[in-house]
């Protein structure tokens, strides 16, 4: 095929040799390369992996029973060899609790993000693709949710659902039903921003010639949405999904901090802080470790998100 | 450049505007304070101006100012419109009860010459009619004499349909309230009403201030007096209330028991315990209350004197024994006893409450009606296990939780979000697990937890098995409706308060009997029976006696605290020399 | 041939860009001269370095990622590349002015046309507001904007494409510069508008005796406009000649091929177009040998090994090629 | 433009209506305002029934909403519980400017909010000014010095601050500047309230008490905004018109502050205008921690007591503010960007 | 403009059976505005009544300045935009009034090549997916293996190495991408292709490659092209007949050489004279007609002849009466009062 055909036979001779020199690089590989060059993102990714290992690997070191074991005689002990992070108001080991609390916090972050993604992407996609009346309707709903500041809505909804929270048992572990409530509440209040992003993505990608090309080819609407537009809007969705995990973890912490979040005995990094500020002077370890862990995981997720943003879209430098 | 300048200008203007607004918002309260001051001109310093730093800076050596730290802000200062503890304990400052209670919770006449009794003819033999003789020298802070008219007016206000007072208890049991003359008030109950001492005339409304408003608007719900009771009958008079920040009371020059020794009392509202502790330790406050036990050593180290004031609250667990809705195990007295025996409440009190209080044996601990012969169930897990085995609750499937007839002994244990309660839950969960009882912990905001059956409140809808809270009877009276069959919440009775769902005919009869027993000793006997029944059947499991904790700095002298009317001798309080 | 004075003299300019993927060798040793009142054209395909060359001279290459590796650019004897930023500010817009390809993005959307045109007047000529306003009106009139008094208060989006380019011209001409660098000024415009602009520039050039460097990819545009033409490929000048000479007697295979690939509106279709195989070179790799070698029909071994120098092939006509296309054999 | 504003306002009416309806329904299940009335005792059953009746809480929710919206002075209520509605209502409804009375303290909702609003505004606007000044300084400087050491350090710090939850920052600053400074005998910052009641509400007192809450409120926003401004400036600096300005020989400050910043300001202004109303609600967490007597604390206090009228009042006020500020953002945008013309 | 559709005219226009028939096709984009409910307050008349035929195997050039509606015309003819009125028939299928089946068939028979080789290829798809899309969508080759073979054939045909089948568009140069676009258009064996400025985004040296490829393919498969372009030189090279559009209407239509050598409409004349010729001597000697001003907004096109505000020979009636669409010489149609 490298043979040069006679000019009359046309264009085979026009093969450009330079393409063959470069190894095939999928967009994923390119993204990975760009991501790897992003120092902060790498730091964030490593940090994140360590934190996940901490939360999930730690379960092999401490049992959940230990994390919930009260030792009222050893309450509010400062960090020591026995309790590296100290003990809380009923003498539970804070280190062990941050491990199990971390699991729940990460779980809340991820699942709330999923809820947000499902709603946000669906609404945004429908709105952006079909436009017209559906769009106006959906956008009015989106606005309605946005108009109330999230934290207010979160508090109101958390209280609304708090009335009916049976505990749930998954995989042999009992969680406070409020975990589900918080996940839903966070998901239900955060989607509008994503929906707007997805909508604007759809609006702009819809105008691309390759969509017109697909239509000219006779590709069906469903296929255009799912095979053409969605894969192309995946970058901002991934980025915003990543950052959503961080914001969901923070939001959970806010609500728990204000006393409307996940109920004990299920620990989360957020509800470990509830009331801990009453000990700001006397027992700094109560608030310091969970607080620092939240800050760390949010920071590393933000780093990763920023790296992903740059990696997925080299033109964007926006925060 | 253009942008920056205009943006800055814009922001500057906004800041200025907001500062002006912040300044403007204040006159709302002073306006109210100044109006009466103009007519009556009591010795309320000078017209308190906002910008001027109040009093303290003017004559620091002379004016005696005490600062109280409150973690919640008053909702209203009308004594009949609030249930809030912080509001009601403050009433002895600016309002007056017919009689208040001393540190031993003994009634002390304040507006009356003496407490009505059968002996002095103040109480009819059937216990239905109470006749009060008012003192001659009692006056409102504006100089208007307090007469029977004020009592009649207060009664009318409580019963007025358009007034949304917090409670009509026990006024809705009265037939009438009359003023025989200016100094005599006669109250007639429909039925004999034994607990009258504890519940009557917890505050007085000034007819001469509020009647015109009521006549005009048909309600006193929105009366300015509720927020700014500048006319009062306590040793202090309301002066200023800055929303979210503080309330100030100044000495009532016309107080008939003598002008108080302090000149001013500030109530400073700080939103949380930590700030309160910090303020007290820093000497920014002279009195605080409602501490977590864990803060006590620190406060004491800082020289704060802690006063345990028992006000009838005893923290305890109500068992859900509702005929249909409860867990089957809890209907068995052995199981309830086992729970009592398996829960080391003494250790809980020692560790979490730092041994500052005692395990509550009965709901009437620290009331005069207490049966001192009863002491709390001991900690005996072995016996608890034995009792559970006996009752047929054994761990047949080896999952660590006892069961019977296929029902696991898993109990839903709910309480409010108060930290100490959640901590208690965690401890209880662990201890009961050791005898094979699994607890499923839940906690709720108070307004959800205590919401009525109609509102699907957690404590009232029988979805929980163990319900922990502390509820005071009508302290110092032991009367309570929490055990009456008629109070079991249901679709027909959606506002019932019997959260255990227990209907014990015998107990019911005893409760009805005590309410009519005017004779003190007879009543004590009845209550001893009630107490024994509840204790032995473990209808209620006491956790700890829940006194009100007051912290008083060494700056204050002559401080006495009563469980019913904490500041009963506030006029004697003084700054230590 | 040229007795006019040399006004701009570019010597061995090399500019690179350091980007994530590597180094882009954008300009690889460009030398050229420009005389007073002369119009030259720099022709080449996208990425051949024609714009970067002139942006380098103007000091408009963002550093980083750009880097001017070597070279001098003498403007009336002063090496522009050696001047400080502050000194360059006095040259730019006053002595050397530039017009860009897309007048939509090149004009600030949030400032009025009048303000943008008056800026060089204020900065370079210290005009007060009123004088500057007056001058702006004159300038707009000069470039053929109707009703300049009112239109000067318009924003760029209120102008049509052609008018925007006229405004750009007015801005460039504000201080009566000696050299006007026009970077593809008509590429974004329709042919009828292009004709208007070309006509305008020609008229102004003749009126003001201004030297013009016209950067374009369109060999057609150049023909009626420039005196000399410089053809660039892969950051190198491959051929330089007077306009007549270049079209009559192209000597570089690339120029030859380009002309052959162009359909002619003035001729009936007589043949297939001759296409140049392959694609323009990837400048991430420093060209080795003749950069056109991979696409050249006359290519022979030496082309791949050595980069040819820019050799004189006729009077005032130089080409960078080892092959003599006239005689059909390599040069000696 | 007037038409546009009018149209937007008209469009906001159904929006606000729907929001109020949804919120009102949400709030009905948010706790029982008369369960304890904020006290330690459970409200007795007789009083519960009476209060429900008196407060109209026994009515079907849609009727309650209707009364809230349109008042009940055209209807009669049964206050004495005899089954006959005899007392005419007195509420005029939100539509006529009556937001009702707080269930907690029987004050008119507007007054309750008005007492706190200036405090919140003071805190928020100071914070916003801080945010703007520092974010602009940092953002522009780090954009101009892209990839310099300063830029890298600032980027790292902004990320750190941006990621730190507000309460953690607050606790750390409290721990350092209040607790430890005091321990070390340094001048320490107050952590609670707006002023010392004994010292009075002097500007100095208020300013001193504002230090920590303002810092807490601003730090995250400064970080976020400065990143945003940096990227907006970078983008603007890379535009063709900046090159044109350079080609004209304009001095650097003129290029940066007029040509670039005016364009970069467009998205920034929008963001600020959209964020401002959210500040109105007060940073709930900040006000809670520092005991600032503002809207956020008010909201928390009244949410915890199920005080629907006040909570509705706050939320609707914010909703209206958001709508208005969105409109202002649009107008500002059109004012700054001549390309935008609303009709 | 006109809508004279006498059958005789039609017959006269066509000698052979046309593959594509366009009859008074209009495409107006509504402009909406309103206080709450949006009302249509006007419309952008992007295409305002165009009529022409394209014979089998013929290339019709559609030229005009930007904004004249030529791209909209191309898309409306293919049914990618619903027509406001008028008719377009491709191989007997009414593009705008047919059932789904027929439209699906049409999508096989008629294809499109786009201007922007970057935007017209889905960046997330491999070449295999892009070129194979018509084959998959129309179930021509449901088997991925067979489809890949066919894609490779097509790639070879357009001058791309089949080895690159799994590469992504971003790895290709502009010219190569345009060839991918051509291969995609060819995949379903169409008979009619709308080429919407297929070369204007390409470098000069690449343009010829693509043009030659299009010509070869036409010869090989007997394709019919509607070639939309603004480059008049290239149109003269590739097209058999040329239609000149101005503000949504066709002002002149003729055989290629007839049009270029004897343009009748003043707009055509101006347009042709504005095109630079890469020949200095000839270029200098040419008489240019420089048009004044810009193309007016299609929202409010001028009354009468749409060209009259810029027309150097405008007469009084031009601003009032729309000129008739006349055949002034065999196969040479023009709409001008002065002709």
Question: What is the per-residue DSSP string for C98-141?
Answer: EE-S-HHHHS-TTS-HHHHHHHHHHHHH---HHHHHHHHHHHHH
| Mean per-residue pLDDT, A157-178 | 72
Chain C environment of E203 (Cβ under 8 Å): 45-46, 217, 280
pLDDT tens-digit profile of A214-272?
988 888 888 899 889 988 888 888 888 888 898 899 888 888 888 777 877 778 888 88
Render each residue's pLDDT in chain D as its tens digit; 343 residues. Answer: 777 888 888 888 888 888 888 888 888 777 788 877 767 777 888 888 888 888 888 888 888 899 888 888 887 877 777 777 777 777 888 888 888 888 888 888 998 888 888 888 888 888 888 888 998 898 888 888 877 888 888 888 888 888 888 888 888 888 888 878 888 888 888 877 787 766 777 888 888 888 888 988 888 888 888 888 888 888 888 888 888 898 888 888 888 888 888 888 887 887 777 777 767 655 788 888 888 888 888 888 888 888 888 989 988 888 888 888 888 888 888 888 887 766 5
pLDDT tens-digit profile of E67-101?
888 899 999 999 999 999 999 999 888 988 888 88
- For B78, which residue in chain D has the nearest alpha carbon? D105
Q: What is the pLDDT of residue B535?
A: 92
Query: Per-residue confidence at A163, pLDDT binned at 50, 70, 90?
Result: low
Measured CA to CA, the distance from residue B483 to residue B497 in angstroms comes to 8
Q: Which residues pair with E228 in a beta bridge?
A: E62, E196
pLDDT tens-digit profile of C256-294?
888 888 888 888 877 788 888 877 787 887 778 888 888
Q: Which residues pair with D290 in a beta bridge?
A: none
C73 in Cβ contact with C13 (< 8 Å): yes
B406: three-class secondary structure by DSSP: coil
The minimum CA-CA distance between D341 and chain B, rounded to whole Å, is 20
Beta carbons of E159 and A231 less than 8 Å apart:
no
Chain E environment of C197 (Cβ under 8 Å): none
Beta carbons of D3 and E36 less than 8 Å apart:
no
| Mean per-residue pLDDT, B3-9 | 47
Q: In which domain, by residue range, is A298 found?
A: 33-64+83-311
| Mean per-residue pLDDT, A102-120 | 91
Give DSSP secondary structure letters for A202-265: HHHHHTSHHHHHHHHHT--HHHIIIIIIHHHTHHHHHHHHHHHHHHHHHHHHHHHHTT-SSPTT
DSSP 8-state secondary structure symbol assigned to residue B123: B
The verdict on residue A150 lying in a domain is: yes
Q: Is D246 on the interface with C (CB under 8 A)?
A: yes
**Edge-first strand listing for the sheet containing C211-216:** C96-99, C179-183, C211-216, C39-43, C228-233, C236-242, C317-319, C311-314
Q: What is the pLDDT of residue A165?
A: 67
The answer, yes or no, to whether residue E36 has pLDDT greater than 60, is no
The verdict on residue A41 lying in a domain is: yes
pLDDT tens-digit profile of C40-58?
999 988 888 888 999 998 8
B552: three-class secondary structure by DSSP: strand
pLDDT tens-digit profile of B469-506?
887 778 888 888 888 898 898 888 888 888 888 898 99
D343 in Cβ contact with D135 (< 8 Å): no
Query: Per-residue confidence at E34, pLDDT binned at 50, 70, 90?
Result: low
Please provide the distance, in angstroms rounded to a whole number, between the alpha carbons at the two ends of chain C.
Answer: 28
Say how many CA atoms lie within 13 Å of B56 toward its Cβ.
Answer: 13
B497 in Cβ contact with B457 (< 8 Å): no
Burial of D153 (0-12, 13-18, 19+ CB in 10 A): exposed
Q: Is B472 on the interface with D (CB under 8 A)?
A: yes
| Mean per-residue pLDDT, C168-178 | 88
Segment among B206-210, B278-282, B320-324, C171-175 with least mean pLDDT? B278-282
Question: Testing the interface with D: which of E31, E32, E35, E37 to mutate, by most D Cβ within 10 A?
Answer: E35
pLDDT tens-digit profile of E115-170?
888 888 988 888 999 999 999 988 888 888 999 999 999 998 888 888 888 888 88
CA dihedral sign, ordered C213, C219, C223, C225: negative
| Mean per-residue pLDDT, A94-121 | 90
The verdict on residue A38 lying in a domain is: yes
Q: Is D299 on the interface with A (CB under 8 A)?
A: yes
E–C touching, 3+ CB–CB pairs within 8 Å: yes
Q: What is the pLDDT of residue E35?
A: 57
Measured CA to CA, the distance from residue E122 to residue A211 in angstroms comes to 8
Query: Per-residue confidence at B46, pLDDT binned at 50, 70, 90?
Result: very low
Beta carbons of E275 and C265 less than 8 Å apart:
yes
B–E touching, 3+ CB–CB pairs within 8 Å: no
Beta carbons of B294 and A75 less than 8 Å apart:
yes
pLDDT tens-digit profile of A276-317?
777 777 788 888 898 899 999 999 998 888 888 878 764 433
Query: Per-residue confidence at B318, pLDDT binned at 50, 70, 90?
Result: very high
pLDDT tens-digit profile of A143-153?
888 887 777 77
Percent share of chain C, pLDDT over 70 = 98
H or E, element range at E60: strand E59-63
Q: Which residue has the tokens 């909703």?
A: D319
**Greater confidence, C182 or B417?**
C182
> Distances in Å between the alpha carbon of B460 and those of B467, C270, D307?
10, 98, 21
Tokens of D49: 């029934």
Write down the CATH number for the domain with range C6-95+177-266+273-330: 3.40.50.300
Query: Per-residue confidence at A172, pLDDT binned at 50, 70, 90?
Result: low
The closest CB to that of A163, out of B348, B419, B456, belongs to B456
Q: Cβ–Cβ contacts within 10 Å for residue C113, how many?
A: 28
Q: What is the pLDDT of residue C3?
A: 64
Q: Which domains does chain B have, with CATH numbers?
A: 65-293+549-575 (3.40.190.10), 314-546 (3.10.105.10)
pLDDT tens-digit profile of E279-300?
888 877 888 888 887 788 888 8
Pairing mode of beta strands B556-557, B574-575: antiparallel
Q: Is D3 on the interface with E (CB under 8 A)?
A: yes
Question: Testing the interface with D: which of B5, B21, B22 to mutate, by most D Cβ within 10 A?
Answer: B22
B60: three-class secondary structure by DSSP: coil
**Percent helix, percent strand, percent coil in chain D, to nearest 5:** 70, 0, 30
> Distances in Å between the alpha carbon of D66 and those of A110, D16, D85, D94, E73?
40, 15, 17, 10, 56
Measured CA to CA, the distance from residue B179 to residue B190 in angstroms comes to 18
Angle between helices C113-125 and C161-173 (to 10 degrees): 10
Q: Cβ–Cβ contacts within 10 Å for residue E151, how many?
A: 27
Q: C with D: how many residue pairs have Cβ under 8 Å apart?
A: 84
Chain D environment of A280 (Cβ under 8 Å): 171, 174-175, 179
The verdict on residue A22 lying in a domain is: no
> Distances in Å between the alpha carbon of C216 and those of B57, C43, C45, C49, C205?
82, 5, 8, 11, 17
| Mean per-residue pLDDT, B166-175 | 89
Q: What is the pLDDT of residue B24?
A: 46
CA dihedral sign, ordered E44, E46, E52, E53: negative
| Mean per-residue pLDDT, E191-214 | 87
**Greater confidence, B456 or C132?**
C132
* Tally of domains in chain A: 1
A70 in Cβ contact with B348 (< 8 Å): no
Tokens of D262: 């005016």
Q: Is D69 on the interface with A (CB under 8 A)?
A: no
Top-tier CATH class for D110-336? mainly alpha
Q: What is the pTM of this model?
A: 0.82
- For C282, which residue in chain A has the nearest alpha carbon? A18
C54 in Cβ contact with D243 (< 8 Å): no
Q: What is the pLDDT of residue E288?
A: 81
Percent share of chain B, pLDDT over 70 = 89
CATH number for the domain harbouring residue A191 = 1.10.3720.10
C250: three-class secondary structure by DSSP: coil
The verdict on residue A54 lying in a domain is: yes
D295 in Cβ contact with D91 (< 8 Å): no
B119: three-class secondary structure by DSSP: coil
Chains linked to D by 3 or more Cβ pairs within 8 Å? A, B, C, E
Contacts of D182 (CB under 8 A, 6+ apart): B282, D188
Measured CA to CA, the distance from residue D158 to residue C27 in angstroms comes to 39
The verdict on residue A11 lying in a domain is: no
Structural domain boundaries in chain D = 33-98, 110-336
- For A149, which residue in chain D has the nearest alpha carbon? D278
Tell me, rounded to whole angstroms, the distance of Cα B52 from its chain centroid. Answer: 36
Beta carbons of C109 and D241 less than 8 Å apart:
yes
């Amino acid at each position: 095929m490298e043979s040069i055909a006679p000019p009359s036979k046309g264009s085979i001779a026009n093969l450009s040799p330079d393409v063959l020199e470069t190894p095939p690089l999928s967009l994923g590989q390119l993204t990975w390369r760009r991501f790897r060059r992003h120092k902060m993102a790498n730091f964030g990714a490593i940090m994140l992996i360590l934190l996940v290992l901490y939360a999930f690997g730690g379960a092999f070191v401490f049992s959940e029973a230990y994390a919930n074991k009260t030792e009222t005689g050893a309450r509010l002990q400062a960090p020591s060899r026995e309790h590296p992070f100290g003990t809380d108001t009923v003498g539970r080991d804070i280190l062990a609790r941050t491990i199990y609390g971390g699991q729940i916090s990460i779980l809340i972050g991820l699942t709330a993000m999923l809820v947000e993604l499902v709603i946000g992407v669906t609404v945004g996609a429908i709105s952006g693709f079909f436009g017209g009346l559906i769009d106006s309707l959906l956008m009015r709903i989106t606005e309605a949710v946005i108009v109330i500041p999230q934290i207010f809505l979160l508090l109101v909804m958390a209280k609304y659902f708090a009335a009916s929270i049976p505990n749930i048992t998954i995989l042999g572990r009992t969680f406070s039903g409020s975990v589900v409530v918080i996940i839903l509440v966070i998901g239900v209040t955060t989607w509008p921003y994503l929906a707007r992003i997805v909508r604007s993505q759809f609006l702009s990608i819809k105008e691309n010639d390759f969509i017109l090309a697909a239509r000219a080819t006779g590709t069906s609407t469903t296929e255009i949405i799912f095979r053409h537009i969605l894969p192309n809007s995946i970058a901002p969705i991934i980025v915003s999904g990543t950052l959503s995990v961080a914001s969901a973890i923070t939001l959970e912490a806010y609500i728990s901090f204000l006393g409307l979040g996940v109920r004990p005995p299920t620990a989360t990094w957020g509800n470990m802080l509830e009331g801990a500020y009453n000990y700001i002077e006397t027992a700094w370890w109560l608030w310091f470790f969970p607080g620092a862990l939240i800050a760390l995981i949010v920071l590393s997720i933000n780093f990763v998100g920023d790296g992903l943003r740059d990696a997925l879209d080299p033109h964007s430098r926006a925060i | 450049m253009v942008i920056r300048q205009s943006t800055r200008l814009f922001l500057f203007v906004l800041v200025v505007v907001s500062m002006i607004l912040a300044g403007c918002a204040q006159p709302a309260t002073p306006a109210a304070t100044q109006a009466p001051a103009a007519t009556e001109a009591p010795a309320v310093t000078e017209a308190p101006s906002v910008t001027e730093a109040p009093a303290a800076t003017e004559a620091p050596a002379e004016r005696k100012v005490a600062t109280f730290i409150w973690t919640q802000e008053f909702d209203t200062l009308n004594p009949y419109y609030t249930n809030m503890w912080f509001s009601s304990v403050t009433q002895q400052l600016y309002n007056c009860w017919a009689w208040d209670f001393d540190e031993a919770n003994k009634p002390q006449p304040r507006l009356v010459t003496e407490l009505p009794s059968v002996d002095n003819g103040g109480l009819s033999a059937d216990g239905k009619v109470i006749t009060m003789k008012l003192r001659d020298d009692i006056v409102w802070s504006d100089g208007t004499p307090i007469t029977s008219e004020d009592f009649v007016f207060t009664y009318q206000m409580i019963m007025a349909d358009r007034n949304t007072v917090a409670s009509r208890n026990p006024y809705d049991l009265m037939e009438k309230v009359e003023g025989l003359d200016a100094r005599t008030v006669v109250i007639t109950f429909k039925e004999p009403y034994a607990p009258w001492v504890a519940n009557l005339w917890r505050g007085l409304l000034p007819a001469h201030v509020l009647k015109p408003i009521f006549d005009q608007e048909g309600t006193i719900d929105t009366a300015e007096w509720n927020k700014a009771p500048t006319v009062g009958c306590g040793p202090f008079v309301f002066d200023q209330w800055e929303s979210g920040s503080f309330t100030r009371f100044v000495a009532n020059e016309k107080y008939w028991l003598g002008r108080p020794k302090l000149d001013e009392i500030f109530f400073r509202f700080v939103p949380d315990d930590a700030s309160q502790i910090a303020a007290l330790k820093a000497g920014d406050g002279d009195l605080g209350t409602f501490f977590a036990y864990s803060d006590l050593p620190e406060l004491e180290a800082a020289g704060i004197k802690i006063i345990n004031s028992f006000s009838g609250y005893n923290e305890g667990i109500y068992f859900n024994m509702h005929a249909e809705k409860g867990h089957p195990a809890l209907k068995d007295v052995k199981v309830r006893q086992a729970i009592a025996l398996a829960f080391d409440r003494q250790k809980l009190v020692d560790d979490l409450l730092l041994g500052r209080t005692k395990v509550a044996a009965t709901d009437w601990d620290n009331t005069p009606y207490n049966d001192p012969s009863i002491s709390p169930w001991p900690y005996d897990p072995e016996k608890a296990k034995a009792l559970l085995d006996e009752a047929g609750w054994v761990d047949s499937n080896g999952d660590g939780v006892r069961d019977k007839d296929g029902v696991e002994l898993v109990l839903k244990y709910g309480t409010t979000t108060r930290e100490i309660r959640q901590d208690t839950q965690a401890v209880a969960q662990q201890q009961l697990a050791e005898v094979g009882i699994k607890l499923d912990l839940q906690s709720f905001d108070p307004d959800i937890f205590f919401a009525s059956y109609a509102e699907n409140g957690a404590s009232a809808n029988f979805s929980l098995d163990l319900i922990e809270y502390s509820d005071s009877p009508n302290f110092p009276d032991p009367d309570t409706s929490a055990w009456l069959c008629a109070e079991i919440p249901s679709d027909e009775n959606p506002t019932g308060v019997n959260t255990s769902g227990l209907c014990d005919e015998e107990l019911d009869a005893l409760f009805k009997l005590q309410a009519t027993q005017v004779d003190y000793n007879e009543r004590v006997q009845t209550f001893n029976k009630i107490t024994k029944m509840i204790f032995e059947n473990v209808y209620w499991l006491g956790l700890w006696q829940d006194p009100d904790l007051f912290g008083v700095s060494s700056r204050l002298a002559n401080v006495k605290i009563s469980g019913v009317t904490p500041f009963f001798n506030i006029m004697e309080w003084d700054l230590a020399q | 041939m040229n007795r006019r004075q040399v006004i701009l003299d570019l010597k061995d300019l090399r500019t690179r860009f350091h980007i994530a993927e590597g180094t882009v060798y954008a300009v690889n040793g460009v030398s050229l001269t420009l005389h007073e009142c002369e119009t030259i054209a720099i022709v080449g395909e996208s990425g051949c370095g024609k714009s970067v060359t002139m942006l380098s001279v103007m000091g408009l290459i963002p550093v980083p990622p750009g880097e001017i590796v070597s070279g001098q650019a003498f403007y009336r004897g002063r090496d522009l590349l050696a001047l400080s930023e502050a000194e360059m500010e006095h040259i730019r817009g006053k002595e050397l002015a530039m017009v860009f390809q897309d007048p939509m993005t090149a004009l600030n959307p949030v400032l009025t046309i009048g303000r943008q045109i008056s800026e060089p007047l204020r900065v370079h000529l210290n005009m007060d507001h009123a004088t500057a306003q007056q001058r702006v009106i004159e300038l707009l009139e000069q470039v053929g904007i109707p009703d300049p008094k009112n239109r000067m208060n318009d924003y760029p989006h209120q102008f049509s494409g052609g008018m925007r380019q006229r405004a750009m011209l007015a801005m460039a001409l504000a201080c009566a510069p000696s050299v006007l660098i026009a970077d593809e000024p008509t590429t974004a415009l329709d042919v009828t508008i292009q004709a208007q602009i070309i006509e305008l520039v020609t008229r102004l050039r003749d009126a003001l005796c201004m030297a013009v460097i016209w950067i374009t990819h369109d060999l057609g545009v150049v023909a009626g406009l420039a005196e000399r033409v410089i053809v660039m490929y892969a950051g190198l000048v491959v051929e330089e000649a007077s306009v007549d000479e270049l079209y009559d007697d192209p000597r570089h295979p690339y120029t030859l091929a380009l002309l052959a690939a162009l359909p002619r509106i003035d001729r009936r279709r007589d043949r297939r177009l001759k296409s140049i195989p392959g694609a323009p070179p990837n400048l991430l790799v420093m060209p080795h040998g003749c950069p056109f070698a991979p696409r050249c029909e006359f290519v022979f071994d030496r082309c791949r090994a050595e980069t040819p120098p820019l050799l004189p092939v006729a009077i005032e006509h130089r080409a960078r090629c080892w092959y003599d296309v006239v005689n059909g054999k390599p040069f000696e | 433009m007037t038409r546009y504003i009018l149209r937007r306002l008209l469009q906001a009416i159904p929006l606000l209506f729907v929001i109020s309806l949804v919120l009102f329904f949400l709030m009905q299940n948010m706790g029982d305002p008369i369960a304890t009335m904020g006290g330690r005792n459970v409200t007795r059953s007789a009083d519960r029934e009476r209060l429900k009746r008196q407060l109209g809480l026994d009515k079907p929710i849609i009727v309650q909403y209707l009364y809230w919206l349109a008042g009940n002075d055209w209807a009669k209520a049964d206050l004495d519980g005899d089954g006959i509605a005899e007392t005419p209502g007195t509420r005029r409804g939100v539509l006529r400017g009556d937001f009702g009375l707080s269930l907690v303290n029987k004050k008119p909702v507007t007054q309750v909010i008005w007492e706190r609003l200036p405090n919140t505004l003071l805190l928020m606007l100071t914070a916003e000014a801080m945010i703007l000044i520092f974010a602009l300084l940092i953002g522009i400087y780090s954009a101009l010095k892209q990839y310099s050491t300063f830029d890298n350090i600032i980027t790292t710090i902004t990320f750190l601050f941006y990621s730190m939850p507000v309460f953690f920052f607050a606790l750390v600053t409290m721990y350092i500047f209040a607790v430890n400074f005091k321990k070390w005998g340094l001048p320490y910052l107050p952590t609670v309230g707006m002023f010392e009641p004994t010292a009075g509400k002097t500007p100095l007192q208020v300013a001193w008490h504002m230090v920590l809450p303002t810092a807490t409120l601003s730090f995250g926003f400064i970080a976020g905004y400065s990143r945003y401004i940096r990227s907006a400036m970078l983008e603007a600096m890379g535009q063709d018109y900046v090159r044109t300005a350079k080609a004209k020989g304009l001095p650097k400050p003129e290029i940066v502050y007029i040509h670039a910043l005016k364009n970069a300001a467009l998205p920034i202004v929008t963001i600020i205008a959209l964020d401002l109303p959210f500040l109105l609600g007060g940073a709930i967490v900040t006000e809670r921690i520092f005991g600032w007597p503002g809207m956020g604390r008010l909201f928390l206090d009244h949410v915890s007591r199920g005080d629907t009228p006040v909570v509705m009042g706050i939320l609707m006020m914010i909703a209206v503010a958001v709508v208005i500020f969105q409109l202002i953002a649009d107008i500002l945008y059109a004012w700054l960007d001549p390309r935008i013309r609303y009709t | 403009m006109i809508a004279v559709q006498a059958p005789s005219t039609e017959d006269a226009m066509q000698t052979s059976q046309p593959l594509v028939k366009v009859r008074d096709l209009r495409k107006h984009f509504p402009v909406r505005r309103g206080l709450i409910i949006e009302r249509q307050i006007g419309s952008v008349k992007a295409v305002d009544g165009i009529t022409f035929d394209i014979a089998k195997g013929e290339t019709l050039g559609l030229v005009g300045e930007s904004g004249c509606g030529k791209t909209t015309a191309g898309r409306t003819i293919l049914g990618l935009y619903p027509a406001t009125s008028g008719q377009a028939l491709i191989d007997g299928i009414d593009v705008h009034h047919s059932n789904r089946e027929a439209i699906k068939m049409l999508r096989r028979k008629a294809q499109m090549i786009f201007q922007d080789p970057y935007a017209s290829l889905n960046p997330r798809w491999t070449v295999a997916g892009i070129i194979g899309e018509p084959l998959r969508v129309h179930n021509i080759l449901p088997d991925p293996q067979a489809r890949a073979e066919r894609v490779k054939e097509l790639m070879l045909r357009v001058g791309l190495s089949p080895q690159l089948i799994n590469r992504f568009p971003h790895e290709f140069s502009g010219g190569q991408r345009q060839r991918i676009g051509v291969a995609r258009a060819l995949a379903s064996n169409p008979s009619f292709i709308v080429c919407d400025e297929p070369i204007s985004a390409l470098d000069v040296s690449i343009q010829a490659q693509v043009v030659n490829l299009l010509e070869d393919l036409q010869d090989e498969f007997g394709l019919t092209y509607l070639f939309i372009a603004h480059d008049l030189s290239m149109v003269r090279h590739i097209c058999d007949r040329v239609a000149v559009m101005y503000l949504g209407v066709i002002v002149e239509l003729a055989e290629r050489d007839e049009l270029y050598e004897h343009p009748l409409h003043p707009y055509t004349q101006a347009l042709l004279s504005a095109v630079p010729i890469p020949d200095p001597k000839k270029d200098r000697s040419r008489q240019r007609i420089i048009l004044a001003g810009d193309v007016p907004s299609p929202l409010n096109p001028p009354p009468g002849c749409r060209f009259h505000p810029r027309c150097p020979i405008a007469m009084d009636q031009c601003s009032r009466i729309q000129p008739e669409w006349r055949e002034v010489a065999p196969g040479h149609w023009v709409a001008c009062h002065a002709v």
